[in-house]
Amino acid sequence: MRFSALLLVGVLATASASVLRMYSRTANGQKVEPFWPEAPAGGVSVAHFWDKIPWEVVAGNALGAVLGGSAGALAGNAEAIKSPMYGGIAGGVAGFIAGGVVAYSPFGEPREEPEAAWGKSTEEPKVEEEETKKPKITTEELPQPAITKMQHQAELAVALSNYEEQQATDKGDKKEAKEEAHAEKKAVKALQDISENIEKREKTGKKPATADSQKDFENVQEVLAEGDTAEMISAESALANDAAVTANDLARVAGGGKGKRFRGEDVGPGKGVKSYQGDMIARSEKSKKQLKLFESFTEGSQAPKKLEDLWEEEKLEEPKGAKQIAAGAPFPKGKINYCFASDVSETVKKIFRAATDQYKRAVPSCLTFEDVGWKKGKSDSEEQDQLCKKSPAIFVQSDANRGCFSEIGFQEGMDVQRLQLQDPGCMSVGTAVHELGHALGMAHEQARPDRDQHVKIHFNNIPEDMRDNFAKDKKGYTGQKYDLLSVMHYDRFAFAQDETKPTIDFLGIGANEGLGQRIGLSKFDVGQVVAMYKEENKQCKGSELAGMGCVDKPNKLGKDVCKGRTECNAEGINKCCACGGGAALQCYKGQHCPKPKKMLRMDPKECLVESTALFAGRGLKCVYQNECSFPVSFKCSGGCENVADPQSYSSTKCNGKEVTDVCMAKDKCTFSILKDKKGCPKECLACKPGAVWNGGKALSDNKCKHSCSRPFGASRYCGGGKVYGGDGSVDCTGCK
């Protein structure tokens, strides 16, 4: 009986307290705070203490005590307790405790964590939300200075001639070894001269004329034309080496300084000879009609003429299939005879032969080239006075006033067809490859019907009478992907009215480093040649590529700084294959392809190098280059986290203020390699062409088996953490 009475007391007290608590919460709409919050140091006022009393708990205690006491008194009449007084006391105590506990924290409702303190209101404070200020980052990617491309080409020439010398020595070919040693010496001298010009710029803050290095540049071209060297160079390898010299760079070299440019491909043949797109001409009747089919006007003040009307005017049958492959006819059976005008220099001869070597290496089963010997004629002779010992043949000339041009495709019925390389103005292996491409039948890449999906033409910077040079061929070949790296593409400033502003821009993010490169064939150029000549030669196919090899680059004095190296500093990162630097070279299946045996670890801090002096006159306080082959993330005193893309030149602002620590106080910055969760770089640019990214470890680790390529800044086409697949595309189809 006694136990039952006490149980009844507790139940009644708990129920009553719960009812009171629910009423209190409903009426006030407030949460309960702890009774004894931490007191402030300044003491407590009576009024404040009064405000802090948890009245619902007090009420719960009181009600519990009354009900419990009453129930206890009634139960005290029972024989088991024998005293109403004792029963009331016991019931009151039990009710007081139960009522307070339930009022403070009822069953099923979580207790609030203490937040209030002495001196603070029990009501939730109304705090005005402040917008979180995130650091604002703006990064400008700057175009690579032409003089540094020339420097990298000179380094490449030294590295490749040294490699060829070693190969010849190993084979016991003393004659070739001697020739390569001589070539290396010439390249070292050019490298020293170009490096001195760059150092002058760094010391004085003034830009020396690019033309000051013209002779050195021509010497480098001679070295790159020696022996097998030209065969190891492609558009992709040039871009990997930061040596993608463009037609615009060549124009500046030949311009004589003070911002002047001599654009050999834009000059035209003169002497009343009609040309198409600057450097394409035709003399045979069939070729003339073929060119007319391409002559549709571009956007501008003149009304466009439909290509279909031109077909009708000429009364010619359309080629089979929806698209044509070439702008001119292919040479029968892919056999090309050639000779040189009597006054052509040895330099021009070397450069042209190097161009033929590139084609022979890329498509050995498609084309054959033979120097059949000169019979009569100089570079400025009339057409009828130029002749090779065999016909038909290409007559290579070097008239001092006629720029660069070629007759387009095989000129049926003609004994010779001309290919012009002005000296100076057209003195690069890539320019000879370009003009020889026209002779073989190739059109300009930007004349393709799909070009507006990839580049934008700025017609407002093109003289009205020159706009037809940007005509699109609606029947042009699109069997290969649009190739921004094609040796047949115009450069950014072709036919510019204001030569400081572009006429062509890539429709994407980043600098247009490879547009209009004049180094050599790209993989898609090779694909088009195969498509053009497989009807002439059923065995025609391109050589199978085997990725990129690497040879160490010398320092500016031509000395090896990589042998015996155990760690990678800034110099090693730029020069040494084991540090991710060195000179990339194109490898083919069945050919020896030099590669480092192991990779050395590198500090990403060493990747970023100050290059402000290269951009003198632009008012920038800090320009940095990431010389590594992977993206580097860095954060300096401004608090902004920046990402430096591989090989790029950049200037960055953090909250509107130029970031200078990365140039002047690297110790104030933190650096890291940008990777994804798998340890792979977030962007494809983390890999050099043909290389396998491995997180900085040995190549054999194959941590990330993505064979990356870097044509024209490939990762900028991808994004979202995707990795570029290395097929040379620019539309993300290569992103994995």
User: What are the backbone dihedrals phi and psi of residue 351, each rounded to the nearest 5 degrees, phi first?
Assistant: -65, -40
Domain boundaries, given as residue ranges, for the chain = 2-104, 145-232+548-588, 264-506, 598-717
Q: What is residue 488's predicted lDDT score, i.e. its pLDDT?
A: 95
DSSP result, 380-420: TS-GGG-EESSSSEEEEE--TTS-EEEE-S--TT-SEEEEE
CA of residue 33 relative to chain centroid, distance: 59
Structure tokens at 398: 């070097």
**Residues that are catalytic:** 435
First vs last Cα of the chain: how many Å apart?
81
* Residues 6 or more apart whose Cβ sits within 8 Å of residue 43: none
Q: Could you give the CA distance from residue 327 to residue 448 in angstroms, rounded to a whole number?
A: 11
**Cis peptide leading into 114, omega within 30 of 0?**
no
Q: What is residue 15's predicted lDDT score, i.e. its pLDDT?
A: 52
Q: Could you give the CA distance from residue 507 to residue 500 in angstroms, rounded to a whole number?
A: 19
Q: What is residue 409's predicted lDDT score, i.e. its pLDDT?
A: 92
CB-count exposure of residue 21 (10 Å: 0-12, 13-18, 19+) = buried
In 10 A of CB 320, how many CB atoms? 6
CA dihedral 480, 482, 485, 489 (to 10 degrees): 110
Q: Could you give the CA distance from residue 559 to residue 586 in angstroms, rounded to a whole number?
A: 23
Q: Could you give the CA distance from residue 366 to residue 441 in angstroms, rounded to a whole number?
A: 14
CA of residue 368 relative to chain centroid, distance: 36
Q: What is residue 359's predicted lDDT score, i.e. its pLDDT?
A: 94
Q: What is residue 267's predicted lDDT score, i.e. its pLDDT?
A: 82
Q: Could you give the CA distance from residue 193 to residue 215 in angstroms, rounded to a whole number?
A: 10
List beta partners, residue 658: 653
CA of residue 355 relative to chain centroid, distance: 28
Structure tokens at 706: 């993505």
Q: Could you give the CA distance from residue 520 to residue 244 in angstroms, rounded to a whole number?
A: 9
Global confidence as pTM: 0.71
* Residues 6 or more apart whose Cβ sits within 8 Å of residue 387: 375, 376, 377, 395, 415, 416
Q: Could you give the CA distance from residue 283 to residue 405 in angstroms, rounded to a whole number?
A: 13
How many residues would you count in the chain?
Answer: 736
Q: Which helix (H) or strand (E) covers residue 240, if one does?
A: helix 235-240
Q: What is residue 76's predicted lDDT score, i.e. its pLDDT?
A: 55
Q: What is residue 694's predicted lDDT score, i.e. its pLDDT?
A: 35
Selected from 3.40.30.10, 3.10.20.30, 3.20.20.150, 3.40.390.10, the CATH number assigned to the domain covering 264-506 reads 3.40.390.10
Structure tokens at 291: 């060119």
Q: What is residue 133's predicted lDDT score, i.e. its pLDDT?
A: 63
Q: What is residue 261's predicted lDDT score, i.e. its pLDDT?
A: 81
Q: What is residue 524's predicted lDDT score, i.e. its pLDDT?
A: 92
User: What is the block-wise mean pLDDT of the chain (736 residues), using blocks of 10 residues?
Assistant: 50 50 45 42 45 55 59 54 55 57 47 38 43 72 86 92 91 90 92 88 72 82 82 88 88 75 82 80 62 43 34 37 69 96 94 94 94 96 93 95 92 92 89 96 93 93 91 86 93 92 81 82 93 91 88 87 86 87 88 83 88 87 88 88 86 92 92 62 38 33 34 32 34 33
CA of residue 480 relative to chain centroid, distance: 21
Q: Could you give the CA distance from residue 209 to residue 727 in angstroms, rounded to a whole number?
A: 38
Q: What is residue 160's predicted lDDT score, i.e. its pLDDT?
A: 92
List beta partners, residue 586: 548
